[in-house]
Structure formats: structure tokens, C-alpha cells
Chains A and B, each alone.
With several copies, the nearest count.
Chain A
Amino acid sequence: MYRLEELLIVTIATMLDDLGHVAVGAASPIPGAAGLLARARSQGSLRVSLLGSRRHNAFTDGGKELFDCAAQGRIDAFFLGGAQIDGEANINLVGVGDYPKAKARFPGSFGSSYLYFLVPRVILFSLEHSPRVMVPRVDFISAPGVSPDGVYRPGGPYALVTNRCVFAFHRKKRCFRLLTAHPGEDPGSIRSNTGFDFDAPEQVPETPAPGEADLELLRGRVGREIAEVYPMFASRLWNIKEENEAETPSASTEESIGARFHSLQD
């Protein structure tokens, strides 16, 4: 038995296994746990920089360091969300409707307009896989999925992980391809919840279930580690109590609160 969150964490962790340095932005408990799981599996060879963490955040040069570090090629993977995501992997963190007067206004683009270009493996993540998030065309491009030749772009979208499935992104073909469907989903249920077209194989495999070793790590060490930054998340999932210093903000992220437009970076 495992929970959807655990499936997502393990799925994402597997995309990080061969890397050297993964950074995770604010309000990202699942990507954060995935990074920490991958780190645990790597026996420490993977470095994870978790915004908001004291223990897993080595930055000492102020707010600009994450971005400089990415531009130096020292960050291999990062996570971005989107209030809207379209089939060319454009993401919108700003608003629905005409800009600037929006029908729905979200916090803003954060570092997406930059990191999407510079981090080789950007994993898009959304817990609301619905037609209102997965749209034919985003209303505002916080960061484009692809760029014309000649634009300096060592980075870009690698995959899109949702509550329904896992897509890979094909940069040359500028489109997503369905890789696996989570238990209970099939290409039909996914297509009917996706406003853009995507490639799919004839047979869509099920997203592999988490292994026992991973679940054990998650429910133990990784859970305790992520509880430093996301105590309510760790408590809700695993009944793990915060091991916090008094001054650590009692940060928590209830996915219920506007989770679909959680910006996943600082």
C-alpha cells in the first residue's frame, strides 16, 4: 500500500538518480522529498539544495546565488509548476485572462523565466491535471518551453509529472509524450483531462509502484528530513513530527490551498 504522493516522490526521484546537484524551490514538498530520496539512494553523492531548509541548503551568497549557480552549470535539475501548462511546455505562473488585468492572478513568474533556460533537466510538476491547467495555449508565457535556434539555452523541460501520469518532453518535436499512467488512469482519462495534444505509445505502461526500500526510506529518514521544511506535509503523510528548531518557520504546504499554481521556485 502506498499513497499517490509516495508514487510521485519515487517517480521523480528516479529522474534524479544519475545527477550531481538538484535544487528545489519554495513550496515544493513532493519535489523536495524526491530530491532527498534520490540523495539517500545515492549514498550522499547527490547534493540537494532545498530552499527554506537550513540543513539542506548550502547557499551563502544571498538570493542571487541559486540563479548564478544555475548559470554556471552547477545545477542539474530543478522543478517548475504552472497555473497553466501547454503542449509546447510553456508555463504560466502569472494569470488567466488578459494581462495585466487578470481574471485570476497568481503570484508571479518567480525565477522560471530564467531557470527554465539554464537548468538542463527541468521537471514540470502539477497536482491538478485538469483541462484548466493543461491548456491548449497558456494565457501568459512566464517561460517558454522551447526557443528558436540561436537562443542560448542549455536547459529546458525534461518531463511533466502530474497526479495522473508522467510525460517526457521532446524538445526537437516540441511536444509531450505519455510515458506511464498512474494506477486508475488510462490514455482516455488522461486525454479527456488534457487540453493539449500529446504523443502516446500504443500500450501505455503503468507507473511503476514504489519499492519497499524506497517506501522505508520515505517513511523514515526522508520523512524526517523533509519535515524540517514541510512539517504539516510530513505529519499528514507519515505522521512524522517536526524536528524543528524553534525559529524555523512552521512552513507547511497544504496542496489544497491553491496547489495548482504553486510556484516551485524562489
Chain B
Amino acid sequence: MAEFLKSVEDLAARIPDGSRIAVPPDYSGCAMAAVRALIRRGARDLDLLGVPQVGFQGDMLIGAGCVAAVETAALTLGEYGAAPRFTAAIKSARLRMRDSTCPAIHAGLQAAEKGIPFMPLRGILGSDVLAHRNDWKTIDNPFGDDDSLVVLPAIRPDVSLFHAALADRAGNVWIGVRRELMLMAHASRQTLVSVEAISDDDLLADDRYASGTIPSLYISAIAQAPRGAWPLGLKGHYAPDAGHLREYVALAATEDGFRKYLDTFVNASESGIDVSA
């Protein structure tokens, strides 16, 4: 059922303003070329979900004014330091922030995957994470005595957006051990994927691939985007462009610098951007 699109611009066009959009962390296959296209098309009011956390794409989308709200266990650039546009947005209270914790995001997506309204989860009690989540509840364990636990509402994103190594002509997408991408696809209304390459072989015909493949049943649209995770890396294929990422962090320290980054690396058409690292 997956549709093949010509470009990441076409992928970005499938993400309406106001969408609840789920994205993976920096190490798990980020559709950075599609994120640039989303910024170019001037997306607005996105509700960004980190699964379970989000990195550079979050900082960029926030800096570019595409994001109204964030739900995540962390917004982190890892070793590259604090996320400058995120930090600035928090300080000026421009973001509606729903701080979460990793397993709560996985559990919420699993609830959507199972079509159940909520998922119970241990831990979390007594934290300020819970205190600030009006949408989370605490109930008595129906199988326990004097035992309460947190219940998390299902998280059903409008869109999941990520990058993977390989798709086949039927629209099946190989994600290997990055199983959180499969959970995202199961839980989401729409799943949009950019891929390095499209194979003529059926990924489902060989168990070695099938075991790490999201069936096309869950994939809405695919666009080929070689090096589509750049400047992040894609495990097994290419490393992050550390020099570029450091340059981003340096420029994005100020609003002006960030604008300069956008002009240089985003606002040109994707074909005008050198992704060769």
C-alpha cells in the first residue's frame, strides 16, 4: 500500500501543519533530508514526539518555528552539547513542553499498537514528570492490594517520519534491529520513510531480512534519498558528519547564526546541498 514519491519534498507535503509527528533519536535513522524539506515548506504547529528522545532534527524544527509542542524523554544533541534552539525556545516559553520518560513513550506507542486506550507502567510515581502530566493518571492495581501504578494514554501519532537503509518495490522497509521504528509504524496513522536504496528483491521472501522488515501494510509513502540521514549517520552505512554537526551547534547558538545555517544548508533546494560529508 506504500506509495513511492519522487522526492523528500513530496514526503514533507504529506505532513499537514498541526500534525503530531513521531521521530527517532539521532542514532536510529533520522530522515534529515525530509526534515529540511519540511522546514522549506514552512510547516507550522507540529506536535513533535521523540521516540523516546529527539536530537538535531528537533532543534532545527524548533528553531525554524515549525513546532508548537514537544513530547519527549529528552531533547539532546548528545556529545555535541546543549540543544541551542530548544533551550532558547524553553527560556522564552514558546514551546508547550510535555516532559516524559523513555519507557512511557514506548508504552504509549505500544498501547496504540495494541489498540488499547492505555498502558500501565511501573516507576514514575513521585516524580515531577508525573506531577506535570495532566494527561497521565494513577490507578489502583486491580490485581494488587494497596498498590497503585501509573497508566499512560495511548500515543497515536498522525505521522511517523524516519530514514532507513532499504525498501523493496512492494514498499516493505528494512530496519534491522531498529525495532522502535516498527513500533512507530504500527502505532501511527501515517508512516513516511526516506530510504537509501530500493531493492528489486522481496524483503519478505528471506527470513533474514523479513525479521527486520516493516511490511508495506504500515508504510504510507517512501521517497529515495541517498545519504538522507546526513548530517547524522546511518549505522552500517555512514558515520555522522561531526564537523558539520559542530558547525550547526556553533551557528545555532544565536538566532542570527541559526538563520544563516538555514540559508546555507536548508533553504537551498535539497539538490543544492552537499551531503557528501
Contact = CB atoms under 8 A, between A and B. Distances in A.
A250 B215 contact: no
A26 B78 contact: yes
A211 B46 CA distance: 52
Contacts of A150: 146-148
A115 interface: yes
B15 interface: no
B90 A102 contact: yes
A21 B217 contact: yes
Interface in A94-121: 94-95, 99-103, 105-118
Given A60-B215, A64-B180, A111-B101, A71 B76 contact: no
A152 to B, nearest CB: 6
Contacts of B130: 113
A21 B99 CA distance: 29
B121 A72 contact: no
A108 B146 contact: no
B147 A108 contact: no
Contacts of A246: 238-239
B204 A60 contact: yes
B126 A147 contact: yes
Interface stretch (A4-12, A137-145, A194-202): A137-145
B127 A143 contact: yes
Interface residues of B, number: 84
A54 B236 CA distance: 10
Contacts of A67: 102-103, 106
A250 B240 contact: yes
A62 B240 contact: no
B114 interface: yes
Interface stretch (B171-179, B193-201, B253-261, B264-272): B171-179
Contacts, number: 222
Given A64-B180, A100-B97, A247-B237, A114 B102 contact: yes
Given A52-B27, A101-B90, A258-B81, A108 B75 contact: yes
B53 interface: yes
A114 B178 contact: no
B115 A107 contact: no
Interface in A227-244: none
A100 B28 CA distance: 28
A216 interface: no
Interface string B56-81: 00000000000000001111101111
B102 A111 contact: yes
B152 to A, nearest CB: 11
A109 B146 contact: no
A257 interface: yes
Given A58-B172, A107-B76, A100 B217 contact: no
A60 B25 CA distance: 17
Contact of A248 (B86, B90, B239): B239
Interface in A162-189: none
Contact of B128 (A72, A99, A250): A99
A69 to B, nearest CB: 7
B1 interface: yes
B123 interface: yes
B10 to A, nearest CB: 21
Contacts of A250: 239-240, 242
A263 B74 contact: yes
Nearest to B181: A62
A112 B100 CA distance: 10
A39 interface: no
Contacts of B101: 109-114, 142
A45 to B, nearest CB: 9
B127 A71 contact: no
B67 to A, nearest CB: 14
A101 B91 contact: yes
A73 B131 CA distance: 27
Counting chain B CB atoms within 10 Å of each CB, which of A58, A63, A141, A148 scores highest? A63
Contacts of A61: 179, 182, 186
Given A102-B91, A151-B126, A108 B72 contact: yes
Nearest to B1: A47
Contacts of B235: 247-249
Nearest to A138: B128
A58 B185 CA distance: 14
B217 A110 contact: no
A115 B241 CA distance: 32
Closest A-B pairs by Cβ, 6 of them:
A71-B115, A62-B179, A108-B74, A58-B215, A107-B76, A67-B103
